[in-house]
C-alpha cells in the first residue's frame, strides 16, 4: 500500500481506492484511488503494510497515525494464508513522519521522469514484494515535475508556502504547549517524546503483534466458518487488539482499510515423521480487555474480563487435515491485587463476597457461551500467602454451582518441590478422562469432522511460569492422541523423537513471549519446557529473570500501563497519565514504614559484598550518615544508612543480588543528581 503526503493529508492508495487522513483534523475519508492529479505538491513517501490505528490524548498527544513500516512472514497458519509479524512501525502526525518508510519502487525514479499509476497494482503484491526490503533510503520523488522554468516558478511558490506553513506550525505548537501547561502537564514536549518512544518499544521490540492480509486470525479454527458458508466472518472482538485505534475506520464500513491485529504469539514449525511431512503451529491471542502489566492488572473487572487472559491454540496440519486444540489462561476471576514494593507482595481481596460473585459469574457466563464447558486447573499454593486466593476461588466456584464447570486444584510447588517437574504427569493422568471427553477440533477439505466440547482454563498467580509447564504437558498429551487418530503413531506410545524438539521449541518460545508481554522478562522454568530437564543453569537464569521482573514492576511498568490503556481507550484524561516515580520507589523499597531492628546484616550470605559496597557508597558520598539532595533536586531527603540496611527487604530477600545491584545503581544516580 503506497503512502503519499501533501501539506494537509496523508493518502493511502490500495487497488482503486484511496484513504485520506487529515493532518489537521485527523478525519478519514475515502476517495477514488487514482485521481490524484488535482492534488498540489504531492509526493510518495514510501509503502506500508497496513494501518494500526490512531493514538491521541487531549492536550498532551495530538492525533498520531500508527502504520506498519516493516513486517516479516511467519508462516501459513490457516492454509493458504500467510501470517506476518510486525517488526517496526512509523508514526505519522501533523509534522513529518518520525521515521523513513521503505521506498516505493514505482516512484523512486530520476527527477526528470514522471511516474505513472497502473490499475493492475495491488496492495497485496506491493506488500508481499517489499516485506523484507532493506534497500537504502533515497530522496522522495515528486509526482508532478515539469521543465526547468516551471520548476523554478514552482520552487518560488513552494518556498513562500513553506514559510507560511512553518510559521503556522510554530504558532500552533506554542499555543498547544500553552494549553498543555494550563492542564498541569510538566514539560509537554518531553511527555510527547516519551509516548512516541514507548509506542516504538511496544511494537518494535516485543515481537508480539501479528496480522494476516486475507484471513481472520482473531478467531481459532473451530470458530472459523467453513469455506462454503455464505455468512461473513466476524473478528473476535476480545483479541482484536487495535479495535479501538481504528474505530473511525470501522465507521466507514469499508474493509479495504481494516487490518485486525492480534497481540500474542505465532510460530509454525515444519515436522517430519518417517516419510510424512506436516506442520505444527502454535498461536496465542491476548485479550484486549483488562490488558496490562503484571502487578498493575490482576483479577477481574466489573464486566467479567480477567487480566492476562490468553487463548492458545495448537494446530496440526497434515495433508488436507487440520486438528486444533485450544486452551485458555487468565487471572483468578475475583477482585484481588498485590500492592506494595516487596519482591512478592502478599495478595489481598479488594471487594466484598457478593460484588465479587457478580463479576465471577459474568466472567464464566462469557466463557461458557464461547467454549460450552470449562475445566478449571488451579495451580496456586494451598498454603502460605497464595492460600487466600485459592480458597476464595473455590468458594465462588461452589457458590456458582454450574454443571458445565469442573474445578481441579493442583499445588504445583508442593507436588514439584525440588525441581521434580516430571510430577506434572500425575496431573495429566488425572485429567485424562476430562481431556478425552473434551476432544479437539478436526476438519478436512469436506468440512468439520468433530469439535472440541470444552476447554482447559489453567491459572497460577501470574498465569505465566507454572501455567506454561502445565499447558505444555496438556498439549503434548493431546498431540499424542491426534497422531494416533491420523495413523502416524501407534497407540499408547510417547511423542516421536523427531517431533519432540519442534514441539518443545514452540511451547518454550510461546511461554517466553507471553511472559515478556505481561512481566517484562522471559518465562521462569523455561529450561524444563524447552528441554524437558531442570538444570542449575536454568535456576540461575530464573533468578536473574526474577530480579529483572522486580526492577521492571517498580521502575518501568507504570508508564507502560498508561500506554496500553491509551491504546485500548481506557485513558482519556491527561491527569490519568502517570510516570514511574523512581526516587519515591527507591525510598519505599529501602525504607519500609515499619520500624527497623538493631543494625546487622542478618545472614547476608552472597549479598554481603554488595551490601558492604552499598554502605561504602553512602558513607563516602555522605560523611554525616545522611544523603543530601543534589542542588538541582527539590526533594528534601534525610535517609540514614541504618534505615537502608536494617529493613525487611534486605533481611527477607538477601538471596537476590541482582536486585540489590539495581538498587545500588539507582541510588548512585540519586546521589549524583541524575534523577
Query: Is residue 215 a contact partner of residue 223, using CB atoms and an 8 Å limit?
Result: no
Average pLDDT over residues 250-262: 93
Of 145-149, 267-271, 294-298, the range with the highest mean pLDDT is 267-271
User: For the chain, what percent of residues have pLDDT higher than 90?
Assistant: 51
Query: Is residue 412 a contact partner of residue 466, using CB atoms and an 8 Å limit?
Result: yes
Predicted pLDDT at 662: 54
Of 192-201, 294-303, 363-372, 622-631, the range with the highest mean pLDDT is 363-372
Is there a cis peptide before residue 179, judged by omega within 30 degrees of 0?
Answer: no
Question: Is the confidence at residue 559, as pLDDT, over 60?
Answer: yes
Query: Is residue 291 a contact partner of residue 297, using CB atoms and an 8 Å limit?
Result: yes
Predicted pLDDT at 146: 44
Helices (H) and strands (E) in the chain, counts: 18, 20
Question: Is the confidence at residue 460, as pLDDT, over 90?
Answer: yes
Query: Is residue 654 a contact partner of residue 638, using CB atoms and an 8 Å limit?
Result: no
Question: Is the confidence at residue 628, as pLDDT, over 50?
Answer: no
Beta bridge mates, 53: 66
Please write the tens of the pLDDT for every residue from 109-123.
443 333 333 333 444
The angle subtended at Cα 49 by Cα 47 and Cα 53, nearest 5°, is 105
Rounded to whole angstroms, how far apart are CA atoms 376 and 390?
A: 12
Candidates 628, 658, 400, 439; CA nearest to 546 is 658
Confidence of residue 536 (pLDDT cuts 50, 70, 90): confident
Please write the tens of the pLDDT for every residue from 325-378.
999 999 999 999 987 666 678 899 999 999 999 999 999 999 999 999 999 999
Rounded to whole angstroms, how far apart are CA atoms 649 and 656?
A: 10
DSSP 8-state code for residue 496: P
Predicted pLDDT at 35: 65
Of 38-42, 108-112, 487-491, 634-638, the range with the highest mean pLDDT is 487-491
Question: Is the confidence at residue 636, as pLDDT, over 60?
Answer: no
Query: Is residue 41 a contact partner of residue 30, using CB atoms and an 8 Å limit?
Result: no
Question: Is the confidence at residue 610, as pLDDT, over 50?
Answer: no
Predicted pLDDT at 539: 74
Question: Is the confidence at residue 316, as pLDDT, over 60?
Answer: yes
Rounded to whole angstroms, how far apart are CA atoms 288 and 290?
A: 6
Average pLDDT over residues 302-315: 97
Query: Is residue 507 a contact partner of residue 472, using CB atoms and an 8 Å limit?
Result: yes
Return the domain boundaries, the chain: 191-568
Predicted pLDDT at 584: 59
Candidates 294, 243, 320; CA nearest to 54 is 243
Of 201-210, 608-617, 618-627, the range with the highest mean pLDDT is 201-210
Separation in Å, CA 182 to CA 185, 189, 247, 489: 7, 14, 29, 70
Question: Is the confidence at residue 407, as pLDDT, over 80?
Answer: yes
Rounded to whole angstroms, how far apart are CA atoms 316 and 335?
A: 37
Predicted pLDDT at 466: 93
Pairing of strands 321-329, 455-459: parallel
SS3 state of residue 27: coil
State how far Cα 668 lies from the chain centre. 32
Separation in Å, CA 56 to CA 189, 449, 562: 14, 47, 12
Please write the tens of the pLDDT for every residue from 72-105.
999 999 888 999 999 999 999 988 899 999 998 8
Predicted pLDDT at 185: 52
Predicted pLDDT at 40: 74
User: For the chain, what percent of residues have pLDDT higher than 70?
Assistant: 70
Rounded to whole angstroms, how far apart are CA atoms 12 and 166?
A: 24
Query: Is residue 141 a contact partner of residue 16, using CB atoms and an 8 Å limit?
Result: no
Separation in Å, CA 479 to CA 69, 99, 526, 590: 37, 44, 20, 49
Confidence of residue 637 (pLDDT cuts 50, 70, 90): very low
- The tally of CA atoms less than 13 A away on the side-chain side of residue 319 is 8
Question: Is the confidence at residue 48, as pLDDT, over 80?
Answer: yes
Candidates 409, 323, 397, 406; CA nearest to 371 is 406
Helix axes of 536-555 and 657-672: crossing angle, nearest 10 degrees: 30
Query: Is residue 571 a contact partner of residue 560, using CB atoms and an 8 Å limit?
Result: no
286 or 574, which is more confident? 286
Candidates 615, 598, 587; CA nearest to 651 is 598
Please write the tens of the pLDDT for every residue from 212-228.
998 999 999 999 987 66
Burial of 219 (0-12, 13-18, 19+ CB in 10 A): buried
149 or 72, which is more confident? 72
Nearby residues of 344 by Cβ (< 8 Å), 6 or more positions away:
338, 385
Rounded to whole angstroms, how far apart are CA atoms 16 and 217?
A: 26
Predicted pLDDT at 483: 95
Rounded to whole angstroms, how far apart are CA atoms 508 and 468?
A: 8
Confidence of residue 595 (pLDDT cuts 50, 70, 90): very low
State how far Cα 156 lies from the chain centre. 48
139 or 294, which is more confident? 294
Predicted pLDDT at 545: 72
DSSP 8-state code for residue 189: H
Rounded to whole angstroms, how far apart are CA atoms 324 and 313?
A: 6
Nearby residues of 633 by Cβ (< 8 Å), 6 or more positions away:
673, 675
Sign of the CA dihedral running 629, 631, 636, 638:
positive
Predicted pLDDT at 170: 52
Sign of the CA dihedral running 72, 76, 78, 81:
positive
Alpha helices (runs of H) in 521-581, residue ranges in sequence order: 526-531, 536-555, 557-567
79 or 454, which is more confident? 454
- The phi, psi pair for 317, rounded to 5°, reads -115, 115
Q: What is the mean pLDDT of the chain?
A: 79
Question: Is the confidence at residue 607, as pLDDT, over 60?
Answer: no
- The phi, psi pair for 461, rounded to 5°, reads -75, -50
pTM of the predicted protein model: 0.77
Predicted pLDDT at 372: 96
Q: Could you tell me the maximum CA-CA distance found in the chain, to the nearest angstrom? A: 87
Rounded to whole angstroms, how far apart are CA atoms 581 and 562?
A: 14
Amino acid at each position: 500500500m503506497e503512502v503519499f503526503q501533501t501539506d494537509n493529508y496523508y493518502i493511502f492508495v490500495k487497488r482503486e481506492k484511496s484513504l485520506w487522513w487529515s493532518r489537521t483534523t485527523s478525519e478519514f475519508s475515502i476517495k477514488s484511488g487514482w485521481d490524484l492529479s488535482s492534488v498540489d505538491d504531492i509526493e510518495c513517501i514510501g509503502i506500508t503494510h497496513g494501518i494500526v490505528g490512531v493514538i491521541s490524548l487531549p492536550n498532551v498527544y495530538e492525533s498520531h497515525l500508527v502504520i506498519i513500516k516493516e513486517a516479516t512472514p511467519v508462516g501459513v497458519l490457516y492454509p493458504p494464508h500467510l501470517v506476518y509479524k510486525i517488526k517496526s512501525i512509523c508514526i505519522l502526525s501533523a509534522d513529518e513522519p518520525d521515521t523513513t518508510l521503505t521506498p516505493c519502487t514505482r516512484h523512486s525514479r530520476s527527477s526528470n521522469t514522471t511516474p505513472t499509476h497502473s490499475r493492475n497494482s495491488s496492495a497485496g503484491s506491493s506488500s508481499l514484494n517489499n516485506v523484507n526490503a532493506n534497500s537504502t533510503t533515497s530522496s522522495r520523488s515528486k509526482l508532478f515535475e515539469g521543465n526547468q522554468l516551471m520548476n523554478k516558478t514552482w520552487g518560488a511558490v513552494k518556498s513562500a508556502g513553506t514559510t507560511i506553513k512553518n510559521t503556522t506550525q510554530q504558532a500552533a505548537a506554542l499555543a498547544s504547549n500553552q494549553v498543555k501547561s494550563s492542564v498541569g502537564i510538566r514539560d509537554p514536549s518531553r511527555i510527547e517524546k516519551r509516548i512516541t518512544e514507548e509506542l516504538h518499544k511496544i511494537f518494535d521490540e516485543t515481537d508480539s503483534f501479528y496480522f494476516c492480509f486475507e484471513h481472520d486470525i482473531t478467531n481459532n479454527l473451530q470458530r472459523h466458518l467453513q469455506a462454503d458458508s455464505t455468512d461473513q466472518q466476524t473478528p473476535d472482538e476480545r483479541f482484536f487488539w487495535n479495535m479501538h485505534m481504528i474505530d473511525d475506520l470501522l465507521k466507514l464500513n469499508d474493509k479495504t482499510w481494516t487490518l485486525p491485529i492480534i497481540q500474542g504469539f505465532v510460530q509454525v514449525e515444519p515436522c517430519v515423521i518417517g516419510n510424512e511431512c506436516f506442520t505444527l503451529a502454535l498461536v496465542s491471542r491476548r485479550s484486549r480487555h483488562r490488558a496490562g502489566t503484571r502487578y498493575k492488572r490482576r483479577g477481574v473487572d466489573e464486566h467479567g474480563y480477567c487480566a492476562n487472559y490468553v487463548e492458545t491454540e495448537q494446530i496440526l496440519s497434515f495433508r488436507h487435515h487440520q486438528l486444533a486444540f485450544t486452551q485458555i489462561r487468565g487471572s483468578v476471576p475475583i477482585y484481588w491485587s498485590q500492592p506494595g514494593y516487596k519482591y512478592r507482595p502478599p495478595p489481598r481481596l479488594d471487594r466484598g463476597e457478593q460484588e465479587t460473585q457478580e463479576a465471577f459469574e459474568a466472567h464464566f457466563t462469557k466463557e461458557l457461551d464461547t467454549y460450552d464447558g470449562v475445566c478449571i486447573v488451579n495451580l496456586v499454593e494451598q498454603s502460605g500467602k497464595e492460600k487466600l486466593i485459592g480458597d476464595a476461588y473455590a468458594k465462588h466456584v461452589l457458590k456458582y454451582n454450574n454443571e458445565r464447570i469442573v474445578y481441579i486444584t493442583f499445588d504445583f510447588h508442593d507436588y514439584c518441590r525440588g525441581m521434580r517437574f516430571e510430577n506434572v504427569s500425575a496431573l495429566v493422568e488425572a485429567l485424562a478422562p476430562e481431556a478425552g471427553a473434551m476432544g479437539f477440533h478436526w476438519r478436512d477439505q469436506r468440512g468439520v469432522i468433530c469439535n472440541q466440547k470444552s476447554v482447559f482454563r489453567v491459572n497460577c498467580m501470574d498465569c505465566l511460569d507454572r501455567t506454561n509447564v502445565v499447558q505444555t504437558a496438556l498439549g503434548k498429551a493431546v498431540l499424542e492422541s491426534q497422531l494416533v487418530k491420523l495413523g502416524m503413531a501407534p497407540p499408547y506410545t510417547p511423542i516421536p523423537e523427531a517431533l519432540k524438539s519442534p514441539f518443545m521449541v514452540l511451547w518454550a518460545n510461546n511461554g517466553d513471549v507471553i511472559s515478556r508481554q505481561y512481566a517484562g522478562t522471559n518465562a521462569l522454568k523455561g529450561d524444563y519446557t524447552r528441554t524437558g530437564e531442570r538444570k542449575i543453569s536454568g535456576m540461575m537464569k530464573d533468578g536473574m529473570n526474577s530480579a529483572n521482573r522486580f526492577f521492571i514492576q517498580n521502575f518501568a511498568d507504570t508508564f507502560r500501563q498508561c500506554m496500553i490503556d491509551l491504546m485500548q481507550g481506557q485513558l482519556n484524561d491527561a491527569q490519568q497519565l502517570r510516570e514511574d516515580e523512581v526516587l519515591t520507589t527507591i525510598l519505599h523499597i529501602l525504607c519500609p514504614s515499619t520500624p527497623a531492628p538493631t543494625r546487622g546484616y542478618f545472614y547476608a550470605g552472597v549479598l554481603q559484598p554488595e551490601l558492604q559496597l552499598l554502605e561504602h557508597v553512602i558513607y563516602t558520598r555522605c560523611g554525616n550518615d545522611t544523603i543530601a539532595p543534589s542542588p538541582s533536586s527539590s526533594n528534601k531527603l534525610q535517609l540514614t544508612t541504618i534505615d537502608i540496611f536494617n529493613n525487611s527487604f534486605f533481611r527477607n530477600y538477601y538471596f537476590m543480588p541482582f536486585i540489590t545491584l539495581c538498587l545500588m545503581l539507582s541510588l548512585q544516580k540519586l546521589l549524583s543528581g541524575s534523577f
